[in-house]
Amino acid sequence: MKYAITDKCVGCYACQLVCPSQAVYADPDVNGRFHIHSRRCTGCEDHYDAPQCASICPIEEAIVNEMNLPVNPQGSLTGIISPGAAL
C-alpha cells in the first residue's frame, strides 16, 4: 500500500522526520504542504507494522491510502467530530 498527502496537511514535518524511505518532501511551490513520492514510498511494509507517516501525523484526513481513504479519519485523532461532517 502506498500513501499520499492531501491538502489538509499543515506542514508540520513530522511525517518527513519518521519516514524510513525519505519518501516525504516539502512542496517546492506551496509553503507548508508536503507530498509523498509515490515511487519511493514502500508503505513501510518492509520496516514496520503501520505506515510511519500516518502514525505520527496529527491532522485528520491529511494522509490517504491508495483507495484515497484517509488513514486517520475525522475524529480519530483529536476526538473532535464536527457536526456538519458527513461520515
Q: Which residues bind other proteins (CB under 8 A)?
A: 10-14, 17-18, 48-50, 52, 55-56, 58-59, 77-80
CA neighbor of 36 nearest in space, from 48, 22, 47, 18 = 22
Gap between the Cα atoms of 62 and 12, Å rounded: 11
Judged by CB under 6 A, the residue of 61, 62, 64, 71 near ligand SF4 is 62
Q: Which partner in other proteins, ligand SF4, none is near 79 (CB below 5 to 8 A by kind)?
A: other proteins
Q: Where are the beta strands (DSSP E) in 1-85?
A: 4-5, 24-26, 34-36, 63-64
Torsion sign over Cα 59, 57, 63, 54: negative
Q: In the stretch 8-27, what mask flags binding to ligand SF4 with x, by CB under 6 A?
A: -xxxxxxx---x-x-xx---
Judged by CB under 6 A, the residue of 61, 63, 64, 71 near ligand SF4 is 63
